[in-house]
Amino acid sequence: MANRLRSATSPYLLQHAENPVDWWEWGDDAFAEARRRDVPVLLSVGYAACHWCHVMAHESFEDDGVAAALNPRFVPVKVDREERPDVDSVYMTATTALTGQGGWPMTCFLTPDGEPFFCGTYYPREHFLKLLDAVWDAWTERRDAVAKQGAALTEAIARTSARLTPDVLDDAALERSARLVARDADPVDGGFGGAPKFPPSMTLEHLLRHHARTGDATALDLVERTCEAMARGGIYDQLAGGFARYSVDEAWVVPHFEKMLYDNAQLLRVYLHLHRATGSPLAERVARETADFLCADLRTPEGGFASALDADTGGVEGLTYVWTPEQLADVLGPADGARAADVLSVTLEGTFEQGSSTLQLREDPDPDWWTGVRARLAEARAARPQPARDDKVVTAWNGLAIAALAEAGVLLGVPAYLDAARECADLVLRLHMVDGRLRRASRGGVVGAAPGVAADHGDLAEGLLALHQATGQPRWLEAAGELLDVALARFGDGAGGFFDVADDGERLVSRPKDPTDGPEPSGQSSLAGALCTYAALTGSARHRDAAEAAVAAAGTLARQVPRFAGWTLAVAEALAAGPLQVAVVGHDDGARLALERAARAATSPGLVVTVGEPDAPGVPLLADRPLVGEQAAAYVCRGFVCDRPVTGVDELERALAS
């Protein structure tokens, strides 16, 4: 046995490096071995923070009996879905087509040509052993049936990836989509549907933008209700900031405790924009605490951001995070402990397991008392065993973090956030760009071999464009333009949409193309958003046309199931409202800063803002924008057609409101 995962960069693969199962990494060598031996491939897909992946690993993949049943009859291949989202997408489509649902760990059996013929998710040990016997029996005794099933599933994958009919999202369609979303909302606890309930980040951003463009009060109310319910529930870490992956109940009380970078980057931006729109102190606090969590708990030594914190601690879910009244009293003393138990909804019965409770903050306590108590509890919790961290730096998710932290830095006036965004962008561009092409991930300063997918290009470009607006530095705009040029040349489908993988990438049984916005923006919608912003910052009609075509390519999806096209609809709102361009020129002084703050306080979804010296090289919005009587000035432009410059904050606010 020669487990081949010991040299992997993925923390998830390294978790399996000492298994008795003879794992291979995904690649041509594994399939060549399956052809040589004439055996099926067992494909197991998961990720480091996945609870049930750990369970199946402990039950089955660490078991000598399972290894003895698996190794002689299969070529076992282990894939980190976060490192290879293309592989995950193709075979998750097959799993969903065969079983009606998906999830991780994903367990698929493939022919040596990569065609799936049986798929599922988690299997207990005894069930898994029986499944191995059944699949082997089918492979050796009923090969024709296996081939027929593989061909049928491969055809189903191709149908799923087929083009949707493009449909323009005009004002009427955007209004209807917002109404459909509101109709599905939970009127009590916010969010959508029942348990489990996921933070609807992109839909909240869509509704915020719709309200900003149209004044729709229902859209804003839904955002406010959902954001407050999440922030006051157990899904939010009341001590360290940041959100867990989802709630197992409808009221956001008990989370699935893993913390993902992509969730927290997107939610930081939502709460930041809610604060900008309403002045909500709660939204501001959550935005600050979530930004602090990103910088304190997910920052890597190289300056990037790690993918996740595990759901388990020592194999026990939630061990780090839950409390009993007795534990609170041990840390705070009897009086403060009892008060904290009341404030944080920690009960004798418990809200979680075995009499323990998650921490909720249903009302704001006295801030002087709470500041000290929160710090003491956080210090005590830090002394507990901590969850493992998946310190893989994923390009797309770091792009989301760059965008959120760059905006937080300027809107909240915290230079450290902007510095973190800048350092992350430096790292990704320096390390993840190899021979002019983007790679998917790195770890410990070593970049992996997996190529960047469409979402890596779109999300990173989005982050770089936010950083350009925050700093005025042209290098970020230039780098974003180069990424978008690659995406247009290599990922386009010829009809306005985008494939998830490049045209010169690895050939899978199907070239994946999923326009659905799930826990993060799809590759297509992320590129649409970045193209829209780039066009507004540069005046490029080519990029504007590409953004409109990409949104239209998902128009049918957005009309039919708008909750699964949240970022597409958010971009559509930006296209409908803009471009609204504000160029603030002047020397770095109080007058320019006042105009900059007023410009950034505007909420139009089509807004872009650039600040700097007049005629700063490499910054199109600042070209031919002189000072006015030696004073700082703001130019408000719509499609590069500009109003007369203004020098006062009141004048600028009136110009932006008109």
Model confidence at 98, in pLDDT bands (50, 70, 90)? confident
Q: What is the C-alpha to C-alpha distance for residues 171 and 174, in angstroms, rounded to an integer?
A: 5
Mean pLDDT of 96-105: 88
Of 60-64, 159-163, 589-593, the range with the lowest mean pLDDT is 159-163
Give me the chain's average pLDDT, please.
95
- Which residue type occupies 634? A
What residues have CB less than 8 Å from 272, skipping those under 6 apart? Answer: 283, 287, 404, 407, 408, 411, 412
User: Is the separation of the CB atoms in 229 and 361 below 8 Å?
Assistant: no
Mean pLDDT, residues 544-552 taken together: 98
C-alpha separations of 73 from 22, 124, 312 in Å:
11, 20, 33
> How many angstroms separate the CA atoms of 441 and 460, rounded?
12
User: What tokens does 537 get?
Assistant: 């910052």
> Which residue in this structure is represented by tokens 């031996």?
37
Give the Cα separation of 626 and 610 in Å (integer).
Answer: 14
Residue at token pair 């333009």? 481
The pLDDT of residue 154:
85
Quick one: pLDDT at residue 425? 98
CB 575 within 8 A of CB 551: yes
pLDDT in tens, 375-430: 999 999 999 999 999 999 999 999 999 999 999 999 999 999 999 999 999 999 99
Q: What is the pLDDT of residues 593-625, one digit of tens each?
A: 999 999 999 999 999 999 999 999 999 999 999
Whether the per-residue pLDDT at 162 is higher than 70: the answer is: no
Angle at 224 between CA 219 and CA 229, to 5 degrees: 130
Residue 436 to residues 165, 482, 486, 505, 543, Cα–Cα distance (Å): 33, 9, 9, 14, 21
CA-nearest of 444, 522, 443 to 487 is 522
Burial of residue 352 (CB within 10 Å: 0-12, 13-18, 19+) is buried
Residue 1 in this model has a pLDDT that exceeds 60: no
Domain extent listing, the chain: 11-160, 321-384, 580-657
pLDDT in tens, 621-652: 999 999 999 999 999 999 878 899 999 999 99
What amino acid occupies position 551? V
pLDDT at residue 55, rounded to an integer:
92
pLDDT beyond 70 at 297: yes
Closest CA relative to residue 522, chosen from 262, 256, 218, 242: 262
Q: Who contacts 635 (Cβ-Cβ below 8 Å, separation ≥6)?
A: 581, 582, 583, 584, 585, 625, 642, 643, 645
Q: Which DSSP letter does residue 105 get?
A: S
Res. 163 pLDDT band, cuts 50 70 90: low
Secondary structure letter of residue 61 according to DSSP: I
24-25 and 75-80 strand pairing: parallel
Q: Write out pLDDT tens, residues 311-326.
A: 889 888 899 999 999 9
Read off the pLDDT of each residue in 459-463 and give the average, rounded to a whole number. 98
Using an 8 Å Cβ cutoff, are 308 and 258 in contact? yes
Convert the pLDDT of each residue in 224-265 to its tens digit: 999 999 999 999 999 999 999 999 999 999 999 999 999 999
State how far the Cα of 283 lies from the Cα of 408, in Å rounded to an integer.
12
471 contacts 451 by C-beta, under 8 angstroms: no
What's the mean pLDDT in 141-158?
A: 88
pLDDT at 2: 63
| Location of structure tokens 């955007």 | 174
| Residue-level pLDDT at 165 | 85
Contacts of 547 (CB under 8 A, 6+ apart): 528, 529, 531, 532, 535, 571, 575
Give me the architecture of the 11-160 domain, per CATH: 3-Layer(aba) Sandwich (3.40)
Per-residue CA distances from 600 to 584, 589, 618 (Å): 11, 17, 21
Residue 146 pLDDT > 80: yes
